[in-house]
A and B are shown apart, each in its own frame.
Chain A
Amino acid sequence: MRLVIQGVCFSYGGSDVLADVTFEASDGEIIGVIGPNGSGKTTLLKCINRALSPRIGTVLIDGRDYSELTRREIAGNIGVVPQNSVVSFPFTVLDIVMMGRTPSMERFERESEKDLEIVKKAMEVTNVVELADRTMDQISGGEKQRVVIARALAQKPKILLLDEPTLHLDVNHQLEILDLIRKLARSEKLTVIIVSHDLNLASRYCEKLILMNAGKIAASGEVTEVLTEKNIESVFKVRAAVSYDRHLGAYTVTPIECCR
């Protein structure tokens, strides 16, 4: 599914938090959104699924302006894994994943066989089937993240948005989650947009990067074009060494010191 973001501006009342953001994404592509705190990354994600409405600009899903779509139709196209996925109620894992079917169900409809099939498949690919009857307070952080991804997949989305999916996870689970996302992007032909603070993981897993600064796109394109020492210095105010790691087959960023 082709996602086009065109000239999107957004403000919370005062000055623009997003100013004229334009980019495109297509099937199976993983796009990383990076940038300092407060640069508008999360706001951008929220504008993409219309949790926030852009002040100006359009978002097109396969050529259709999404302002013509209802909340439910958007939820049927875009799955979201939000940053704060803490669930304080003892819902079971199955309950949570089943909630992903909400947008496609009528108010009085019960879950059908088809819904169950979709939920089952979402739980299989994210490897949470054996957790099905556990409650959310009985599983680990990495497992919770997989459950929330399973719920997003149960929406049968064509676009998957993830806000810091590896935050609070140990290295092992960071890689596990990102490997899963890469696998899903390919097998389900999902368009994936990930917001991340981890430049190294973004460089390894994303095909394209968007570097945000103060609500604007400072640089975008291939990893090598975006993750340059010069860009990092001007946006993050940090002197960094960027080098190619041949074991990884990816560029790594080593921050050295803050610029005065």
Chain B
Amino acid sequence: MEAADIGALHTKKLSLWFLITVILVLLLLGTVILALCIGPVGISVGEIVNILFGGEASWSHRTIILEIRLPRVLLGGLVGASLAIAGAGMQGLFRNPMASPYVLGISSGAAFGASLSIVLGFSIVSGLFAVPVMAFIFSFITLVLVYNIAKVNGRVPVDTLLLAGIAIAAFFTALVSFMKYLAGEQLSSIVFWMMGGLWDARWEFFVFVLPMVAIGVVLILVFSRDLNVLMIGEEHAVNLGINVPLARNVILVASSLVTAAAVSVSGVIAFVGLIVPHMMRLFVGPDNRILLPASCLVGAIFMIWTDTLARTIIAPEELPVGIITAILGAPFFLYLLKRRKGVTGW
């Protein structure tokens, strides 16, 4: 390679990133449209476009799309995008391939909050938001607990954070087991909530989640370059002038925020947050400036398709989407993992 090629190499990388982003955005749009077509009542693409953009369509189809399928597809997209970007953020932050959005115990805390509401009927709000709000609040209680336990002399070492997360998760999981023991008739509600699903999707939830996800995703993306340097090592980051505590806290809190938002309306959906970032790392490499947006988009696409399957495969019943994400995702990921050659690390 010649020195002159350095510029060309750089330009090539940027155009590739641009191309990847455009393709994924188009795929996402296509996914949304197709997922809207699929269901007990088949509705054509043309009719979908008419309904979305104010053209001719039957009243019943319009209701099915706008009141049932659209909120579900959009909420699914948000949940998938949130879990995937939070997973990528946590993996980079902890420099650990096992990290997922749930690594700090957020999902266990949320499950406890949800079960308080389901079993004891205890919630600070009533009605529609009783469960989501409790799940969300306990997610944040978990984060604050874990963070403060891990804090030593004003510093928060990531390894301690990880261990504190595991311990707190175990604690809340035990409390959830206790709630299950007490649950009686409500047992199936807790169990289904913890498998994760989007059957309760509705516009109100979408509106509740959207601002939090938007803020969280933007914050994570803003700090993507800092995360690159943090992945090389804390010492390197300091030497390159990064404000390490700030960058770390922003990524931690933003990832937790989007995770808590997703979990509060969909339960504990397994696997997406762990695997989608790894899949994307195999395709686009480790640079967070492309990895984070790509994970976000693919997380949304993956979630919408698996949820479409979940609601149609045994119709009129539906499966918890968490089952499908793992059954389909795990073999596909293992296939990718075996296929790559000559690359060490992760």
Contact = CB atoms under 8 A, between A and B. Distances in A.
Contact of A71 (B1, B14, B241): B241
A56 interface: no
Contacts of A71: 238, 241-243
A113 B228 CA distance: 21
Contacts of A133: 1, 9
B240 A75 contact: yes
Interface in B221-261: 222, 225, 228-229, 231-233, 235-236, 238-243
Q: How large is the interface on A (under 10, 10 to 19, 20 to 34, 35 or more residues)?
A: 35 or more
A103 interface: yes
B215 to A, nearest CB: 17
Nearest to B342: A138
A103 B10 contact: no
B345 interface: yes
Interface string B328-346: 0000000000000001111
A39 interface: no
Interface in B1-50: 1-3, 5-7, 9-10, 14
B229 A99 contact: yes
Q: How large is the interface on B (under 10, 10 to 19, 20 to 34, 35 or more residues)?
A: 20 to 34
Given A72-B241, A75-B240, A84 B233 contact: yes
B61 interface: no
A208 to B, nearest CB: 23
A89 B9 contact: no
Q: Which of B95, B222, B232, B242 has the most CB of A within 10 A?
A: B232
A51 interface: yes
A90 interface: yes
Nearest to A97: B6
Contact of B241 (A84, A102, A120): A102
Nearest to B343: A90
A129 interface: yes
Nearest to B92: A89
Given A89-B286, A129-B1, A137 B239 contact: no
A13 B241 CA distance: 25
Nearest to B5: A132
A91 B95 CA distance: 14
Contacts, number: 104
Contacts of B287: 91, 95
B344 A137 contact: yes
A82 B239 contact: yes
A68 to B, nearest CB: 15
B285 interface: yes
Interface string A73-105: 111101110101111111110111011101100
Nearest to A73: B241
A29 to B, nearest CB: 21
B240 A102 contact: yes
Nearest to A134: B1
B3 A51 contact: no
A90 B229 CA distance: 13
Contacts of B239: 49, 51, 75, 78-80, 82, 152
A126 interface: no
B233 A99 contact: no
Nearest to A109: B225
Contact of B10 (A84, A102, A111, A152): A111
Contacts of B242: 71, 102
Interface string A109-133: 0110100100110011000011111
A111 B225 CA distance: 12
30 contacts: A13-B153, A51-B239, A75-B241, A80-B239, A82-B239, A84-B233, A84-B235, A86-B233, A88-B95, A89-B346, A94-B6, A96-B232, A99-B232, A99-B236, A100-B240, A102-B240, A102-B242, A103-B241, A107-B225, A108-B222, A111-B10, A113-B7, A120-B3, A120-B6, A124-B3, A129-B1, A129-B2, A130-B1, A132-B5, A137-B343
Given A72-B241, A89-B346, A116-B10, 15 more contacts: A51-B238, A70-B241, A71-B238, A89-B231, A89-B286, A90-B286, A92-B285, A95-B287, A96-B232, A98-B10, A102-B240, A103-B240, A129-B6, A152-B239, A155-B240
